[in-house]
């Protein structure tokens, strides 16, 4: 177990050494959300109606920016080869790496979200629903994203391909997440949507580490 703690500590340490890479997706998120009142309409009603969708789309796009970082450095500098040869479980290492990625890229986003909710004139109920969907949905983004990163990490320019692979996969999550926030706006219960997102998350938690390990092995071959 302490082996995996070592991987965790090292990854957190490296993430905080590369502060620019941590901040860029957050700034991107902030700027995309800021553009909507300017570009679409600054009327509070319109913003409230499009708000949940805007926030979730911006969150998905900004997460794509940070996604590649998960395995890129380790793959390019040969650390991944040494992981494979260390005899540790690659699925375990993948799970730890996804966890670190979620902590360093999505927790700051959650912290920033009250500000964004204010920008888009979300009500308190909508905000609570938004936080709930982000808490359940963003780990799903990390887990599924990691599979695609594992597959594309061996390619030279995997960035755009990664977005093309992942955006269609994230559409169901987007639909249920925004529908939950919309229900909250109408004071309707939104547990069904949350339950479906949770189900997707649990399934991904069970399967993704092994799929990531496999995709990393394929890239290594």
Site string for another protein, 53-92 (x = CB under 8 A): --------------------xx-xxxx-xxxxxxxx----
182 binds another protein (CB under 8 A): no
Residue 2 Cβ vs another protein, minimum distance, rounded to whole Å: 8
11 or 182: whose CB is closer to another protein?
A: 11
Q: In terms of CB distance, is 138 or 219 closer to another protein?
A: 219
Nearer to another protein among residue 187 and residue 221 (C-beta): 221
Look up residue 151 and give its two tokens.
């597959």
Residue 14 engages another protein in binding (rule: CB under 8 A):
yes
Q: How many CB atoms lie within 10 A of CB 82?
A: 11
Q: Give the binding-site size for another protein (rule: CB under 8 A).
A: 25
Backbone angles phi, psi at 188, to 5 degrees: -95, 155
Look up residue 78 and give its DSSP letter: T
Closest contact distance (angstroms) between CB of 86 and another protein is 4
Tell me: does residue 13 bind another protein (CB under 8 A).
Answer: yes
Residue 21 or 125: the one with the smaller Cβ distance to another protein is 21
SS3 category, 61:
helix
- Does residue 34 bind another protein (CB under 8 A)? no
Give me the long-range contacts of 188-196 (CB less than 8 A, separation at least 24): 190/129, 190/132, 193/133, 194/132, 194/133, 194/136
| Beta carbons within 8 Å of 205's beta carbon, 6+ residues apart | 139, 143
* Closest to another protein by CB, 39 or 87: 87
Measured in Å, how far apart are the chain's first and last C-alpha atoms?
27
3-state secondary structure of 4: helix
Under rule CB under 8 A, which residues in 86-125 are in contact with another protein? Answer: 86-88
In angstroms, what CA-CA distances link 48 with 13, 45, 124? 39, 5, 12
Residue 73 CB, nearest distance to another protein (Å)? 7
Judged by CB, which is closer to another protein: 34, or 76? Answer: 76
Helix (H) or strand (E) holding 76: helix 69-76
* Chain contacts with another protein (rule: CB under 8 A): 2-3, 6-7, 10, 13-14, 17-18, 73-74, 76-79, 81-88, 220-221
């Amino acid at each position: 177990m302490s082996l995996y703690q070592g991987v965790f500590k090292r990854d957190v340490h490296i993430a905080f050494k590369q502060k620019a890479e941590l901040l860029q997706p957050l700034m991107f998120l902030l700027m995309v959300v800021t553009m909507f009142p300017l570009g679409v309409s600054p009327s509070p009603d319109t913003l409230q109606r499009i708000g949940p969708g805007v926030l979730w789309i911006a969150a998905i796009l900004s997460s794509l920016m940070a996604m590649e970082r998960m395995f890129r450095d380790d793959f390019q500098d040969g650390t991944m080869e040494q992981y494979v040869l260390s005899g540790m479980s690659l699925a375990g290492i993948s799970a730890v790496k996804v966890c670190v990625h979620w902590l360093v890229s999505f927790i700051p986003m959650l912290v920033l979200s009250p500000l964004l909710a204010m920008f888009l004139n979300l009500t308190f109920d909508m905000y609570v629903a938004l936080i709930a969907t982000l808490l359940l949905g963003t780990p799903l983004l990390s887990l599924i994203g990691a599979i695609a990163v594992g597959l594309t990490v061996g390619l030279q320019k995997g960035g755009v391909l990664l977005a093309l692979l992942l955006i269609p996969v994230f559409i169901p999550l987007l639909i249920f997440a925004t529908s939950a926030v919309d229900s909250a706006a109408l004071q309707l219960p939104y547990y069904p949507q949350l339950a479906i997102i949770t189900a997707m998350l649990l399934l991904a938690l069970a399967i993704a580490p092994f799929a990531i390990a496999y995709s990393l092995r394929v890239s290594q071959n």
